[in-house]
Amino acid sequence: MDKAENWLYKTLHYRFEDADLLTQALTHRSATGRNNERLEFLGDAVLDLLISDAVYRARPEASEGDLSRLRSSLVKEKTLAALAAELGVGDYLILGSGEKKTGGHRRESILADALESLVGAIYLDSGIEAATEIIERMFAQRLDDLPEADALRDSKTRLQEWLQGRGSGLPEYELVSVSGKAHRQKFEVSCSVNNTSSVTHGTSTTRRKAEQKAAAEMLAILLENQK
């Protein structure tokens, strides 16, 4: 594990007192020996706490709901996997033969879990202060570039909140059609709102995504009419 230790020190300026924790953090359950599932459990909780603290301090005026959305944007699997890939975690993962053959070192779920495990291992190795420093280092750019909370609301939520703020009824979504073969279906959904003749449509590979597209189009129309 010398290479992994050197990589970690070069990347995050951290060196384990107990090198076995680093080995365990990088060992996927498909490999033999102690794997990183328990460390992932711990790291998930530590990450939630410290990212919550970071966004709380970064956005002193944000509501509880906005803080939750900001935290979720940082600790969701896609973000953690992207960060793990940027740091080079995949190059040091210990995988079983099956996962190696299928490119497990690039799989989002495996990368995200490994990053959480690494956080858990650092917490066990050196405590909360060290974990805080590492997480602030890991997420520095993303914390600097936090989006406005409104941008994190999905289109259906934004449309509903816009309508409720004006005393209007909730939007209605209707499945218009489903086409294509079972594994490549296309869903078309319509969106209508009381007190307007506009009806928008969205098409996507899932009904939920189609509803989001229809909602986004409806919100755009309502905002344009408001001008």
Catalytic residues: 44, 116
For 211, list phi and psi in degrees, rounded to 5: -65, -40
- C-alpha of 65 from chain center: 16
CA distance linking residue 185 with residue 188, whole number of Å: 10
CA distance linking residue 18 with residue 122, whole number of Å: 10
**Number of helices (H), then strands (E), in the chain:** 11, 3
Q: Which two tokens stand for residue 58?
A: 């970064």
Residue 33 falls in which region: left (phi positive, over 0), alpha (psi -120 to 50) or beta: left
CA distance linking residue 65 with residue 59, whole number of Å: 12
Residue 94 falls in which region: left (phi positive, over 0), alpha (psi -120 to 50) or beta: beta
Q: Which residues contact 64 (CB under 8 A, 6 or more apart)?
A: none
